[in-house]
């Protein structure tokens, strides 16, 4: 079995910054495992600006931010396998060595032995199933991030008449993006009395394009059997109960959900690491070490961050702590 | 003691996630050249307030079709902000464009987009595939 000092699970902003930091702190033998076909993670589909003010002192788009790190990874000759999904991480009680099982098209299922593992898998979106909206399951309902991928990476516009449920940043960004591509965003409904995303995004993504933001409002019903035909919006009171008589039908062919992100921790939990119910991520020490010795976590897999710059900074810490851990062995 | 005619505008700064509440007072006699901004907490915020009060500008980010590449699209941005009222004209130019791979980050794809004097640049790389 191939022995690696630090295996990094995920080649997004957290994984790349952790790998670079581990290298700077003395680890030679590092490997990044990335599920997608290239490094960069979610940044590759975040084509809007707003990244890197802290890290680089200038405002970059997501792909530009990612490219700067990819360049460094290549310069440092840090190896990475793309198209590679990690299936399992096991920790040997006595030796504290980790066995990482992964699969890709070239090697099939394979195993690596690692001194330390840095978890950098990021997060995923809360799906419709988590929301308990009654109705059929017609086509035309997407999470905002899925729509973002379709529009920005694959070149498909998911629909022409859009309602967005939830006012997270991705939903706000997509309201603008779809408007620019010729769709009509009829409303953004937010259950809470305040928007979920940043105020700057409410201003530059909704107000700039006269897209109504309906606060204290949610989707009560989804209409349509084959394809979504519309939604019924309803006002909610402070206790999150629908207020009778406030129902409003809005026709649409697409409903986007921007209702929160969940750290992606199946691997972490299966490894037996103690989890934090509040963040959805693993419990970590002040050195970002999980309850499994020598396994570190950083970025959105640990807790959902507002800014990628914060992810990068945290991941640098994790990389350094992981390197120190290996040297102490 | 003729009091200067002032136009007061309030808006939220969009240059960073802090979202400062800005107030801008534009002296009408100056034709919009004299703007007094308060509420900002950085230099960029002050500049944003001065521009926003008189003539709002925005960066445009989108994607351009690519032929013969490992991706069907390349992300793009206007290298500087363009006047807000020109956004949709920029989008028309972006939608009409198709470029051949390879495309490199920073490569200028449209000069002087929609007559704004601003260029459109690629923000990603697309490799050529045979």
CA atoms A184, A186, A192, A195: torsion sign: positive
Q: Which CATH class is domain A2-124+261-328?
A: alpha beta
CATH topology of domain A127-257: FAD/NAD(P)-binding domain (3.50.50)
CA distance B113 to B111: 6
Please indicate whether, in this complex, the C-beta atoms of B65 and A204 are within 8 angstroms of each other. no
Please indicate whether, in this complex, the C-beta atoms of B58 and A204 are within 8 angstroms of each other. yes
pLDDT of residue A30: 98
Please state, as a whole number, how many other Cβ atoms lie within 10 Å of the Cβ of residue B8: 10
Shared domain check, B30 and B68: no
* B75-107 per-position pLDDT tens digit: 999 999 999 999 999 999 999 999 999 999 999
pLDDT of residue B8: 86
Please give the C-alpha separations between residue B5 and each of A16, A229, B34, in angstroms, as whole numbers: 55, 52, 11
CB A10 within 8 A of CB A17: no
User: Which chain A residues touch B15 with a CB distance below 8 Å?
Assistant: 59, 200
pLDDT of residue B2: 47
> How many distinct structural domains can be found in chain B?
2
Residue A40, pLDDT above cutoff 70: yes
Question: Which residue on chain B is closest to A178 by alpha carbon?
Answer: B62
* A232-286 per-position pLDDT tens digit: 999 999 888 999 999 999 999 999 999 899 999 999 999 999 999 999 999 999 9
Question: What is the average per-residue pLDDT within A144-148?
Answer: 97
Residue A64, pLDDT above cutoff 70: yes
Q: Best interface-test mutation with B: which of A197, A204, A209 has the largest number of B CBs within 10 A?
A: A204
Structural domain of B69: 61-122
- Of A49, A67, A208, which has the smallest distance from its Cβ to B105's Cβ? A67
User: Where in chain A are all domains bearing CATH 3.50.50.60?
Assistant: 2-124+261-328, 127-257
Average pLDDT, chain A: 95
pLDDT of residue B18: 85
**Torsion angle in degrees (nearest 10) through CA of A184, A190, A194, A199:** -30
Please indicate whether, in this complex, the C-beta atoms of B17 and A61 are within 8 angstroms of each other. no
User: Which chain B residues touch A204 with a CB distance below 8 Å?
Assistant: 14, 58
* Å between B62 CA and nearest CA of chain A: 7
SS3 state at A261: strand
> If pLDDT is split at 50, 70 and 90, which confidence band does B35 have?
confident
**Residue A205 has what DSSP assignment?**
I
Shared domain check, B85 and B32: no
Question: What is the average per-residue pLDDT within B13-23?
Answer: 89
Residue B1, pLDDT above cutoff 50: no
Residue B51, pLDDT above cutoff 80: yes
Question: Which residue on chain A is closest to B60 by alpha carbon?
Answer: A48
Shared domain check, B115 and B72: yes
Q: Is B129 a member of any domain?
A: no
DSSP A107-168: TEEEEEEEEEEEE---EEE--GGGT---B---B-EEEHHHHHHIIIII-----SEEEEES--
Q: H-type helices in A213-307, by residue range?
A: 266-270
CA distance A205 to A144: 14
Q: Is B128 a member of any domain?
A: no
Q: Is A83 on the interface with B (CB under 8 A)?
A: no
A69-73, A131-135, A138-142: which range is least confident on average?
A131-135
CA atoms B10, A188, A180, A43: torsion sign: positive
pLDDT of residue A127: 80
* Å between A268 CA and nearest CA of chain B: 31
| Residue in the block written with tokens 């498909």 | A156
Map B57-119 to HEC letters: EECCEEEEEEECECCCEEEEEECCCEEHHHHHHHHHHHHHCEEECCECCCCEEECCHHHCCCC
Q: Which of B55, B71, B93 is the last residue of a domain?
A: B55
pLDDT of residue B30: 66
Which carries the bigger pLDDT value, residue A173 or residue A134?
A173
CA distance A159 to A138: 13
* A165-194 per-position pLDDT tens digit: 999 999 999 999 999 999 999 999 999 999
Question: Which residue on chain B is closest to A198 by alpha carbon?
Answer: B17
């Amino acid at each position: 079995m191939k022995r690696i000092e630090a295996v990094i699970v995920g080649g997004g902003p957290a994984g790349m910054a952790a790998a670079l930091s581990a290298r700077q702190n003395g680890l030679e033998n590092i490997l990044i495992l990335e599920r997608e076909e290239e490094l960069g993670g979610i940044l590759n589909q975040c084509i809007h600006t707003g990244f890197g003010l802290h890290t680089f002192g200038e405002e970059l788009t997501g792909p530009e931010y990612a490219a700067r790190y990819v360049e460094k990874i290549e310069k440092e000759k840090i190896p990475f396998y793309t198209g590679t999904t990690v299936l399992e991480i096991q920790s040997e009680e006595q030796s504290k060595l980790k066995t990482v099982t992964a699969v890709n098209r070239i090697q099939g299922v394979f195993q690596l032995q690692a001194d330390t593992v840095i978890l950098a898998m990021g997060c995923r979106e809360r799906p419709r199933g988590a929301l308990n909206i009654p109705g059929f399951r017609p086509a035309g309902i997407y999470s905002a991030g899925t729509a973002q991928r379709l529009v920005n990476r694959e070149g498909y516009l998911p629909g022409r008449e859009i309602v967005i449920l939830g006012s997270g940043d991705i939903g706000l960004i997509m309201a603008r993006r779809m408007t620019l591509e010729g769709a009509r965003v009829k409303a953004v409904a937010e259950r809470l009395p305040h928007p979920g995303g940043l105020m700057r995004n409410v201003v530059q993504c909704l107000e700039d394009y006269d897209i109504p933001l309906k606060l204290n409002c949610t989707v009560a019903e989804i209409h349509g059997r084959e394809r979504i035909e519309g939604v019924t919006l309803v006002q909610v009171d402070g206790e999150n109960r629908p207020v009778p008589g406030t129902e409003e039908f809005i026709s649409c062919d697409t409903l986007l959900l921007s209702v929160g992100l969940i750290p992606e921790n199946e691997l972490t939990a299966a490894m037996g690491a103690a989890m934090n119910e509040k963040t959805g991520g693993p419990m970590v020490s002040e050195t970002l070490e999980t309850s499994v010795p020598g396994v570190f976590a950083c970025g959105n897999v640990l807790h959902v961050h507002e800014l990628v710059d914060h992810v990068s900074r945290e991941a640098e810490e994790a990389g350094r702590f992981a390197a120190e851990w290996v040297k102490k062995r | 003691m003729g009091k200067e005619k002032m136009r007061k505008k309030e808006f939220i700064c969009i240059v960073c996630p802090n979202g400062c509440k800005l107030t801008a007072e534009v002296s009408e006699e100056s034709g919009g050249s004299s703007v007094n901004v308060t509420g900002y907490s950085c230099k960029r915020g002050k500049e944003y307030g001065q521009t926003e009060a008189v003539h709002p500008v925005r960066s445009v980010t989108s994607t351009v079709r690519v032929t013969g590449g490992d991706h069907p699209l390349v992300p793009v941005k206007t290298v500087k902000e363009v006047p807000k009222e020109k956004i949709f004209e920029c989008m028309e130019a972006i939608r009409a464009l198709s470029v051949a791979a390879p495309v490199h980050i920073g490569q200028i794809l449209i000069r002087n987009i929609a007559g704004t004097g601003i260029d459109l640049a690629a923000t990603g790389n697309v490799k050529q595939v045979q």
